[in-house]
Amino acid sequence: MNRVLVPLELDASMPMLGAQAHCLDGQTMGTTWQVRWVAAGASPSEMVRVAVQDELDLVVAQMSTWLESADLERFNRAPAGTWHTVPEAMAEVLAAALWLAEISGGAFNPAAGALVNLWGFGPSPRYTDPGFAPPTEGAVQHALALNDWRALQWQAASRQLHQPGGVRLDFSAIAKGYAVDRVSRRLSGMGLPHSLVEVGGELRGQGLRLGGQPWWVDLESPPTAPGQAPLPTTRVALHGLCVATSGDYRRVYTHDGARWPHTIDPRNGRPLANGLASVSVLHTECLWADAWSTALTVLGREQGLALATAHGIAALFVQREPDGRLTETLTPAMKELAG
């Protein structure tokens, strides 16, 4: 059985007659990006590339943890007791991240950078480096003390952020989605309202693709255990809609037999071990799809389902049961999209 998800509101404006499909791709944020769009024959590919690169570069220049000159990294290295003017885009992401941190009880935490680095998911050392060893209990406790987002004083009106000392911001679970939104809006602003934008697996579809169909996308599903039939394919019409998936089956490392996904539970300072194989979130804004997918992954199926339901979030949970079988759970908003 397969599942088809279609947004509740449809916009009927079609690409003009004689339009053509276009595609560009490249690399950013340690991953790949791809943009597809539909436009009249001689669509200015070079102009699109420059515009896309411009948006991606802005996000990286402000929010990368991999670039020493990024505003976020400068904040991370700043001495205790200093105030910093946060650029506009970073401020927008910070405000969203702090809100989600608050309502998820710190399951989503934009100040978890010290923990992320400790477990080898930051720039250096990487868990893939030869000889990398998981941190000691003492090191975890030390990093845990530094991951309190509530210790950040944030004055939104003047975009002033206070570094209490040693707090490391990490926007990696939200910045890709935000970048997708920016690229998509930039294309619309250039008179290209029919596009599918992807950064590292997070997607946003606007308008329609060639032939008047919506941008259909199949959700990534984790591989099932031997003996279990594959999960149903979930096909989504990304028509004014975004999707992001967090999963424990990508970027996982094993050490002495334990599995460590790259998502940390900032509440106990350890990589997740709640059996969630993946969480996909559909949302009209990719920033929220991206951030919610991480928040719900950390919360786990029961708490995650309750919070997502309370906030009307469309989410699909795939749980790895103790016997290795995968089971799916949909929030009410997700069921509504499935018709």
Residue nearest to ligand ADP (CB): 246
The CB-of-98 to ligand ADP minimum distance in angstroms stands at: 11
In contact, 283 and 295? CB cutoff 8 Å: no
Query: Which residue type sits at 228?
Result: Q
39 and 210 Cβ atoms separated by less than 8 Å: no
The single-letter DSSP state of residue 104 is: T
Q: Decide if residue 109 touches ligand ADP (CB under 6 A).
A: yes
Of positions 73, 170, 198, 285, contacts ligand ADP by CB under 6 A: 170
CA–CA gap between residue 46 and residue 330 (Å, rounded): 41
Name the binder of 298 from Mg ion, ligand ADP, none, CB < 5-8 A by kind: ligand ADP
**Piece in contact with ligand ADP (CB under 6 A), picked from 40-48, 139-147, 287-295, 301-309:** 287-295
Find the binder of Mg ion among 38, 59, 115, 173 (CB under 5 A). 173
Task: Please state, in angstroms and rounded to a whole number, the distance separating the CA atoms of residues 35 and 328.
Answer: 30
Among 71, 170, 248, 290, binds Mg ion (CB under 5 A): 290
> Apex CA 46: angle with CA 42 and CA 47, to 5°?
90
Stretch that binds Mg ion, among 12-20, 191-199, 222-230, 294-302 (CB under 5 A): 294-302
**309 burial class (0-12, 13-18, 19+ CB within 10 angstroms)?**
middle
Kindly write out the interface string for residues 214-253 of this chain, putting x where it contacts ligand ADP by CB under 6 A and - elsewhere.
Answer: --------------------------------xx------
Please tell me whether residue 64 binds ligand ADP under the rule CB under 6 A.
no
> Coil, strand, or helix at residue 22?
strand
Give least dist CB 102 to Mg ion, A.
18
Instruction: Report the number of secondary-structure helices (H) and strands (E) in the chain.
Output: 8, 18
Give the strand order in the sheet containing 154-155. Answer: 82-85, 160-163, 154-155
Interface residue list for ligand ADP (CB under 6 A) = 108-110, 112, 116, 121, 170, 172-173, 176, 246-247, 262-264, 266, 290, 293-294, 298
Interface residue list for Mg ion (CB under 5 A) = 173, 290, 293-294
